[in-house]
């Protein structure tokens, strides 16, 4: 469980988080929705300590991480896998070495164990036989999947996705969205997805949190969002209508996965 | 093999740009006057502090080193003023600012042009029928030649003064005596060689920088790579030209 | 309606990456044509071909009947055609050493030397006001938000009163609320000036919102779909896959087993 | 003016802290794994230009000495003077300039790209310390490679001087070499090596520090590389001055 209590954060003059409160329960898929500049990605970076709050506190599994040092965060970061908006793969390493990087650096595993884990993670994201390729030889979609594999390899219990589908075409968007859903369920992890794609959220989220001006504006499940009358939410729903696609829930489409 | 092909391509482009600069000099110097003045201010003013600080300390070192060697070989430091000044005018006063400018001016030109390439600003210029070579390279080319020549004179003066300071302080020379010995040691040809070298080095920097900037590949990685390569290539070319010009002046005029 | 832009049998490729083959397209005066396509399919390349920024391997592009790649056309004539083309770039291509106002006076200075500086400034300020960023003309492009940068890019494209607008992914990376505002602004301006627009995007919602006619880039050429309504009801498997984001279809198999 | 002075002091302060950070990380975790690889990689890719620069530096200086000495028939001394001046001063300085572009700016660009494409953050998110795993191997690699390359370059400068003086001044290579031992002292060798080490530390430290503090996309990386090259060159010239003074004082104290 992750809990934010009255978190404030400002960059210079600019207030980004202004008293943010919310919590995420285990094995949920939660979408953080909002327009640009409302502090969605900033929120995500607070969880893994890439940013520190000005005030308020953040708890992960009932541990207050607010005052943690960089070293203390090493443990939190093992528990919370972070998937960046752009793949951020290491250009000079092969796909295999990219995924193995986190496992090797900690030096706790045997080479054969690393081999197994890497292969397993790559298979989980649907990639086979590209171990020896380099990032620049892959399509954007494949790079994205490798970066997800790198994140899940150490076995985190939380997955944090930063704008995973922004700027992608509808087919790739759907593919990534599907992957997030299947992985979360399969691994039994808690996923927090920062996005401004309401369509994706409606398809796979267990809960949708809408942020506005650095605070929580709406918090509800998919049915509650559909019938919500908050202006920002309505504006997002209008976008879904414009795209003209019927929103089918994934759990209904694939009841067994 | 790839490296050789790259080198050929780079030298071809450098050559072409030089030709274009020559042509533009006669046709566009008036039209681009405001850009040239702007570049003079940006490049010159920005480089002045770096050149002053570095040549000041280099002047002292050169005087001390000269004294050390004269003492070692000739057992006298009598020749220090003449030799130091000769060395400063012929070599050091020109080379040190040139190398610093490859970083200060060259790298910043490549970074700027490269960024314009990857953010499509060059395309935006072309769509306005503005030729990037005429609009970007040409003003920088003229400005850089002027600045490098002026800074060369500057740096020779500073190096000479700090050398004088070191000699008077460390080896009890008389100021007047030092200046007299120095002026005797150099002639017009030495000064000419300094100015020619300065101008040539100054022309190399913007040309090489623009070649790498225009060819810059996508993204942050591309800009970083282009900037690095441009500094290295400029440095290598300047060393090569320095040797050639040194040899030419040594054999032609002695 | 008369044809303003005509692309005939265009062929273009990058080494190892064929992009267009026998591609043809006609755009009528005053319409908004939206081109959809997955990333990497060559949308931006097509925009740059239309703007004469890159040369095709084969084929012709006619703007107002003038073949822009014909080497026999005198450069001045070509330049005069491109005076009528305004482009909004995917990465904005704002001049980052110039402030907001100067970004719009610059094109005028280069292309309309006869216009006085005072007139240029007046025109620039009115354009900034029109796109809604007129209250801070002396800021620099990197000091304003992504949405505002897009607005500045649009204002600059309008600086020379173009009759043709080429918009390369004008809402890329923006959130839906901002995207919709930007698209509305573009439509308003296009109607005001009675300009012709060629819009590139991969966002189906934007195509619905903006397009008079929609096309889809598939198999190295343009598949004409028709109106946005026809796009939504289309039974063409490629259109269906793209619009609905289906994981299987002519664009390839995106399905993956999570094993 | 005061503002820019304040900026200079600030960046000098943060550079000092950065050296401290690297030292602490080294003391705590020992030698990082990739160090040798970096030495090989950086050394190998810069070997060609270093040898070239050394050769040319020697040649340029030899011609200058020839012109100076020929006025009063001192050509015989060229070999010794040229070698000594190169070992103590010219070759290390010139090659250090080249290396601040070739390996310094290169690593700045690499780290800067990793920073702006969030690769550094990705490493932190895997619970890995980027200073020890990514920065320290590059820093040590640059320091060691620089020292090695500077040594090779200096040797080449002697050769370059020999070739140039035989071509331009018609000095017999044997005569050139014969004068070397009379001028080269252990003091000069120590001084040259000391200088090279300081230059290596500057190149490594400044470029890593600049690289890791990059912000803001392609433009940011360009600015970083420029700053890294300028700062390195400037500090090298200043360090050249300071090390000369330090060596002189130290040797006086030791009563050489």
Give the neighbours of chain B: at least 3 Cβ pairs within 8 Å: C, D
Please tell me the distance from the alpha carbon of residue D248 to that of residue B254, in angstroms, as a whole number: 36
- Top residue of C55, C80, C86, C89 to mutate, by most chain B CBs within 10 Å, is C89
Is position A152 within any domain?
Answer: no
pLDDT at residue D187 in the model: 82
For the domain that residue A23 is a member of, what is the CATH number? 3.40.50.300
Using pLDDT thresholds of 50, 70 and 90, give the confidence band for residue C57.
very high
A113 within domain boundaries:
no
Residue A121 lies in a domain: no
Residues B111-121: what's their mean pLDDT?
94
Domain containing A180: what range? 2-84+159-253
Gyration radius of chain A's alpha carbons:
18
Q: Does A95 reside within a domain?
A: no
**In chain C, residues 89-148 whose CB comes closer than 8 Å to chain D:** 96, 142
Whether A134 is covered by a domain: the verdict is no
CA gap D109, D212 in Å, rounded: 10
The whole-chain average pLDDT of chain D stands at: 89
Q: What percent of chain B has pLDDT over 70?
A: 99
SS3 letters across chain D: CHHHHHHHHHHHHHHHHHHHHHHHHHHHHCCCCCHHHHHHHHHHHHHHHHHHHHHHHHHHHHHHHHHHHHCCCCHHHHHHHHHHHHHHHHHHHHHHHHHHHHHHHHHHHHHHHHHHCCHHHHHHHCCCCHHHHHHHHHHHHHHHHHHHHHHHHHHHHHHHHHHHHHHHCCCCHHHHHHHHHHHCCHHHHHHHHHHHHHHHHHHHHHHHHHHHCCCCHHHHHHHHHHHHHHHHHHHHHHHHHHHHHHHHHHHHHCCC
pLDDT at C257: 62
Looking at residues B134-162, what average pLDDT do you find? 95
Q: Flag whether residue C96 sits within 8 Å of chain B, measured between CB atoms.
A: yes
Q: What is the mean pLDDT of residues B121-140?
A: 93
Q: Report residue D108's pLDDT band, with 50, 70 and 90 as the boundaries.
A: very high
Strand pairing report for A215-220 and A207-212: antiparallel
Name the domain count of chain A: 1
Q: 């509800």: which residue's tokens?
A: A220
Q: What is the pLDDT of residues C1-51, one digit of tens each?
A: 688 999 999 999 988 888 898 899 999 999 999 999 988 888 999 999 999
Strands C85-88, C164-168: pairing is parallel
Interface membership of D124 toward A (CB under 8 Å): yes
CB-nearest partner of A171 from C38, C172, C173: C38
Q: Are A52 and A46 within 8 A, CB to CB?
A: yes
Sequential pLDDT tens for chain A (257 residues): 999 999 999 998 889 999 999 999 999 999 999 998 888 999 999 999 999 999 999 999 999 999 898 888 888 988 999 999 888 899 889 999 999 988 887 777 889 999 999 999 999 998 888 999 999 888 888 899 999 999 999 999 999 999 999 888 999 999 999 999 999 999 999 999 999 999 999 999 999 999 999 999 999 999 999 999 999 999 999 988 888 777 888 776 654 44
- CB of B118 less than 8 A from some CB of C: yes
Domain assignment present for residue A21? The answer is yes
Average pLDDT over residues C172-184: 90
Asked whether residue A93 is assigned to any structural domain, the reply reads no
CA-based radius of gyration for chain C: 19
* Chains within contact range of chain D (3+ C-beta pairs < 8 Å): A, B, C
Assign B173 to helix, strand or coil.
coil
Q: Do A244 and C243 touch (CB under 8 A)?
A: yes
The reported pTM is 0.90
- The answer to whether residue B241 scores a pLDDT higher than 70 is yes
Predicted confidence at residue A257, as pLDDT, reads 41
Residue D117: its chain A contacts at CB < 8 A?
A: 86, 88
Give the pLDDT of residue A199: 92
Find residues 96-125 of chain A whose CB sits inside 8 Å of chain D: 101-102, 105-106
> Which whole-number Å values give the CA distances from C105 to A96, A188, B138, C219, in the listed order?
52, 58, 22, 41
In this structure, is residue A171 part of a structural domain? yes
- Confidence label for C215 from pLDDT (cuts 50, 70 and 90): very high
Q: What number is the average pLDDT over the span C119-137?
A: 94
Mean pLDDT, chain C, as a whole number?
91
Q: Would you give the DSSP letter of residue A244?
A: T
Per-residue DSSP letter, A147: H
Q: What pLDDT, on a 0 to 100 scale, did the predictor assign at position A187?
A: 93
* CB-nearest partner of D126 from A50, A91, A101: A101
């Amino acid at each position: 469980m992750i809990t934010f209590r009255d978190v404030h954060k400002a960059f210079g003059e600019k207030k980004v988080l202004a008293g943010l409160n919310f919590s995420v329960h285990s094995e949920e898929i939660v979408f953080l929705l909002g327009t640009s500049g409302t502090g969605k990605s900033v929120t995500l970076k607070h969880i893994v300590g890439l940013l520190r709050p000005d005030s308020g506190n953040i708890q992960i599994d009932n541990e207050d991480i607010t005052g943690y040092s960089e070293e203390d965060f090493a443990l939190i970061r093992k528990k919370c896998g972070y998937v960046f908006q752009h793949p951020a793969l290491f250009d000079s390493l092969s796909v295999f070495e990219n995924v193995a990087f986190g496992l090797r650096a900690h030096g706790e595993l045997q080479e054969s164990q690393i081999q197994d884990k890497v292969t397993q993670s790559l298979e989980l994201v649907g990639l086979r036989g590209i171990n020896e390729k380099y990032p620049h030889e892959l399509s954007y979609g494949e790079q994205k999947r490798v970066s997800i594999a790198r994140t899940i390899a150490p076995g985190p219990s939380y997955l944090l996705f930063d704008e995973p589908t922004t700027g992608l075409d509808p087919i790739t968007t759907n593919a990534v969205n599907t992957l997030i859903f299947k992985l979360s369920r399969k691994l039994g992890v808690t996923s927090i997805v920062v996005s401004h794609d309401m369509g994706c959220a409606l398809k796979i989220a267990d809960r949708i949190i809408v942020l506005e001006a650095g605070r929580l504006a709406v918090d509800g499940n998919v049915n509650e969002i559909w019938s919500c009358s908050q202006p920002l939410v309505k504006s997002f729903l209008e976008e879904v209508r414009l795209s003209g696609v019927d929103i089918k829930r994934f759990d209904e489409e694939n009841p067994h996965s | 093999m790839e490296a050789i092909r790259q080198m050929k391509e780079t030298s071809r482009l450098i050559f072409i740009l030089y030709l274009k600069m020559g042509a533009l000099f006669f046709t566009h110097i008036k039209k681009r006057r405001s850009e040239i003045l702007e570049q003079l201010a940006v490049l010159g003013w920005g480089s002045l502090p770096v050149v002053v600080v570095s040549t000041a300390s280099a002047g002292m070192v050169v005087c001390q080193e000269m004294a050390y060697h004269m003492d070692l070989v000739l057992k006298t430091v009598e020749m220090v003023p003449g030799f130091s000044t000769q060395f400063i005018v012929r070599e050091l006063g020109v080379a040190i600012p040139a190398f610093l400018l490859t970083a200060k001016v060259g790298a910043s030109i490549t970074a700027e042009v490269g960024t314009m390439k990857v953010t499509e600003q060059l395309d935006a210029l072309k769509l306005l029928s503005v030729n990037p070579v005429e609009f970007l390279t040409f003003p920088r080319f003229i400005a850089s030649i002027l600045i490098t020549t002026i800074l060369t004179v500057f740096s020779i003066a500073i190096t000479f003064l700090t050398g004088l300071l070191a000699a008077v302080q460390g080896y009890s020379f008389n100021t007047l005596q030092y200046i007299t010995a120095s002026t005797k040691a150099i002639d017009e040809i030495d000064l000419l060689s300094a100015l020619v070298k300065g101008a040539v080095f100054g022309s190399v920097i913007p040309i090489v920088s623009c070649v790498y900037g225009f060819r810059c590949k996508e993204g942050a990685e591309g800009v970083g790579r282009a900037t690095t390569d441009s500094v290295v290539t400029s440095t290598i070319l300047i060393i090569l030209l320095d040797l050639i010009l040194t040899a030419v002046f040594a054999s032609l005029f002695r | 309606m008369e044809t303003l832009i005509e692309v005939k049998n265009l062929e273009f490729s990058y080494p190892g990456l064929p992009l267009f083959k026998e591609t043809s397209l006609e755009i009528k005066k005053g319409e908004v044509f939206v081109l959809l396509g997955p990333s990497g399919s060559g949308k931006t390349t097509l925009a740059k071909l239309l703007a004469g920024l890159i040369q095709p391997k084969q084929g012709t592009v006619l703007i107002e009947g003038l073949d822009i790649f014909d080497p026999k056309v005198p450069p001045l004539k070509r330049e005069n055609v491109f005076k009528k083309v305004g482009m909004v770039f995917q990465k904005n291509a704002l001049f980052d050493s110039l402030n907001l106002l100067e970004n719009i006076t610059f094109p005028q200075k280069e292309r309309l030397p006869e216009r006085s500086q005072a007139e240029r400034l007046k025109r620039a300020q009115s354009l900034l006001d029109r796109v809604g960023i007129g209250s801070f003309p002396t800021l620099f492009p990197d000091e304003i938000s992504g949405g505002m940068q897009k607005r500045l890019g649009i204002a600059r494209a309008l600086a020379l009163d173009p009759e043709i607008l080429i918009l390369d992914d004008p809402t890329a990376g923006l959130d839906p609320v901002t995207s919709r505002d930007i698209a509305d602004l573009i439509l308003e301006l296009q109607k005001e000036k009675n300009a012709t627009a060629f819009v590139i995007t991969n966002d189906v919602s934007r195509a619905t919102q903006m397009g008079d006619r929609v096309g889809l880039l598939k198999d190295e050429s343009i598949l004409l779909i028709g109106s946005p309504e026809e796009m939504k009801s289309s039974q063409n498997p490629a259109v269906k896959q793209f619009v609905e984001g289906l994981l299987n279809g002519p664009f390839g198999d995106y399905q993956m087993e999570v094993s | 003016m005061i503002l820019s002075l304040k900026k200079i002091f600030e960046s000098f302060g943060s550079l000092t802290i950065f050296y401290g950070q690297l030292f602490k990380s080294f003391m705590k975790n020992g030698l990082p794994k990739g160090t040798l690889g970096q030495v090989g990689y950086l050394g190998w890719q810069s070997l060609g230009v270093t040898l070239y620069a050394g050769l040319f530096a020697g040649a340029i200086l030899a011609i200058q000495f020839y012109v100076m000495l020929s006025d009063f028939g001192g050509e015989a001394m060229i070999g010794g003077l040229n070698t000594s001046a190169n070992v103590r001063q010219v070759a290390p300085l010139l090659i250090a300039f080249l290396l601040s572009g070739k390996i310094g700016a290169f690593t700045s660009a690499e780290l800067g790209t990793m920073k702006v494409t969030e690769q550094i953050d990705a490493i932190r998110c895997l619970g890995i310390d980027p200073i020890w795993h990514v920065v320290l191997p590059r820093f040590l690699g640059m320091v060691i490679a620089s020292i090695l390359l500077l040594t090779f370059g200096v040797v080449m400068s002697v050769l370059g001087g020999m070739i140039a003086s035989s071509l331009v001044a018609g000095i017999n290579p044997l005569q050139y070499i014969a004068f070397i031992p009379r001028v080269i002292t252990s003091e000069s060798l120590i001084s040259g090596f000391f200088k090279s080490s300081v230059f290596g530390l500057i190149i490594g430290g400044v470029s890593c520090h600049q690289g890791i503090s990059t912000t803001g996309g392609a433009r940011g990386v360009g600015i970083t590389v420029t700053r890294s090259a300028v700062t390195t060159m400037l500090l090298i010239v200043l360090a050249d001055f300071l090390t000369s003074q330090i060596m002189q004082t130290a040797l006086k104290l030791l009563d050489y």
